[in-house]
Chain A
């Protein structure tokens, strides 16, 4: 499914663009003629004299469609904007979109289809760690390139993946440091859904709390995915009286968890709660009134007040509707196509090996990122700032803290 077909592009902006070229308005640097197809594409990818094809691979159906919708919308927005500004190496980007259907083997199968049958130059996609782990062997075998947008547990670094979300230490350590310093927190109650990301995150959190902050973990709890009964857990929390509840509950459970906390009289008035798993997207389901005053630690909040973000939010709403909200992952997904563009232009080639080599040179940066400034680290993750947002009733967060740029460290020593 090609969202911006070549025909549509030619019809709308092509004529204008060629007129501008003829008049000499656009400098030669972006012209396809300077980059013959035979030179920029030596590995038989879907690159022609005036187009390059990429893949988008997210779940459009199934459980994860809720979360992945925003990510693929952001990727399409970025690609549209790149096309409008002249494309990459003078070529317009065309999209082939596939549906991962919230099913991990399907992600692997569709990755193979995109890389082997469609020969796409890059893929923007995956959301859960499980889907990434399923697709990873395919990308490594076929030497593809994946831009992965979600904040995740770390402990991974593949030549064939660029991680545009935060790895666990960037998000967790900054958040815990803040809550220990600002709230004087000593005792922590850890609660998450029962799968790899919360468990790895809580492992890192526990080590940091006990070894670095000198605090105490008074409870650690995992609930099955989809569980909606938190009565017993809430009573346990009441019994242990933690200074901070540190939460990573996901999906439908998240809604039940916050609703029941509120009904049980645990609110921001009497309890500090910091969560790793609530973005603006989740608030839609949970309801701002159930979250009011609680904190999220993320690298991006929609309410961030900088010119990049104001323009981004405006463009996103124009394309996808006034009611749409933008969460952390959506913003990270938006960075993918721009980072790819920067690396391709630097390499002067679409070849995966050359693009990866260009990405690893420690000088690819985006000053136009909605979150502010990001820089690509040779370990394929991004330098980024971590922010604490306090939720308001209207479903938006007020940023109450912003860290310095944090170096990504997917294999943190002493935290494994």
Chain B
């Protein structure tokens, strides 16, 4: 590759590095909500992707409403949309837990089936309400384009935005789970439900809020992804496999494991993709995952819990 200058190669290296970090932030944001629900409660939520789609549609709705009624606020609506997506998806998660999930805690495999059914119902509802075509919210101008530290380096602004959001959400989850009384209750419930009940923790309330929190974070992820791709009724199902992959690989009950796992998978995928074709990169990433999981079935990091 003699025809490239050092500067060009450095630029591409920098941009490639960012591509990997960007994929990492996407995977982590997707997986955080699921890590809370699956990791803390042991509920396999197959409708996780649909909660993301719900956040994305909330963002889309707000974009349409803002554009129609308050065009002067177009630059700010997106921040409101993130909060709204969290609230809408979280509220729906809260109701779902009350109506469906709480009856199935003793039958983990049935939650798989029930939440899968829920995902189909949600997909068809999206289709009936928003139509089968994919939609994209109109993004504020400051989210478009790229930041150019030099003439040859382009760092997409939407990628940086997702990265920033992921950091904020991850920190928020960390503080909530490990630095607050409520988090202490959640962890206590995970470790020993009966004992926690006996010392006065309202375990049912803890379950409901944990589930709602997980769904709400999925909603945030959905809102963030509208900056990257469009949203259709079945968009959620595209993300669910990657999401489970990250959570299972990281070790189900560990927040740090989820972060490490998202980082490993994202870097492997994006570096491989640079050298071989996209489909083959995915094949090799998955192969490596399978082998590692065969050797460490509990995932990269796992917390020892007395059962």
Q: How far is the CA of A284 from the CA of B136 in the complex (A)?
A: 9
| 14 A-B pairs in the complex with CB atoms less than 8 angstroms apart | A60-B132, A220-B277, A221-B277, A228-B225, A229-B26, A231-B20, A252-B230, A255-B134, A256-B228, A263-B158, A264-B156, A285-B134, A285-B135, A285-B136
A222 lies within 8 A of chain B by Cβ: yes
Please tell me the size bucket of the interface on B. Answer: 35 or more
Q: Is the CB of B157 within 8 A of A232?
A: no
Q: How far is the CA of A220 from the CA of B26 in the complex (A)?
A: 26
Please tell me the size bucket of the interface on A. Answer: 35 or more
Name B273's closest neighbour in chain A (CB-CB): A232
Closest CB-CB distance, B125 to chain A, in whole Å? Answer: 12
Given contacts A221-B277, A287-B136, A228 and B19 within 8 Å (CB-CB): no
A30 lies within 8 A of chain B by Cβ: no
- Interface SS of A by simple majority: helix
Segment 191-247 of A: residues with Cβ below 8 Å from B? 194, 220-224, 226-229, 231-236, 238-239
B96 lies within 8 A of chain A by Cβ: no
Kindly supply a per-residue 1/0 record for chain B positions 269-307, scoring 1 wherever the CB is within 8 Å of any chain A CB and 0 otherwise. Answer: 111011001110010000000000000000000000000
A11 lies within 8 A of chain B by Cβ: no
A392 lies within 8 A of chain B by Cβ: no
Closest CB-CB distance, A268 to chain B, in whole Å? Answer: 15
Chain B residue numbers with a CB within 8 Å of A224 are: 278-279, 282
Given contacts A61-B127, A63-B234, A236 and B229 within 8 Å (CB-CB): no
A260 lies within 8 A of chain B by Cβ: yes
Q: How far is the CA of A200 from the CA of B228 in the complex (A)?
A: 28
A133 lies within 8 A of chain B by Cβ: no
Q: A229-B26, A232-B271, A264-B15 are in contact. List 10 more A-B contacts (CB 8 A).
A: A224-B279, A231-B18, A232-B19, A232-B278, A235-B15, A252-B134, A263-B145, A263-B157, A285-B134, A285-B230
- Interface SS of B by simple majority: helix
A83 lies within 8 A of chain B by Cβ: no
Closest CB-CB distance, A218 to chain B, in whole Å? Answer: 12
> Which of B124, B132, B135: most chain A CB closer than 10 A?
B132
Given contacts A63-B232, A285-B134, A285-B135, A232 and B238 within 8 Å (CB-CB): no
> Which of A227, A234, A263, A286: most chain B CB closer than 10 A?
A263
Q: Is the CB of A228 within 8 A of B277?
A: no
Chain B residue numbers with a CB within 8 Å of A236 are: 274
B98 lies within 8 A of chain A by Cβ: no
Name A281's closest neighbour in chain B (CB-CB): B133
Closest CB-CB distance, A344 to chain B, in whole Å? Answer: 32
> Which of B12, B159, B230: most chain A CB closer than 10 A?
B230
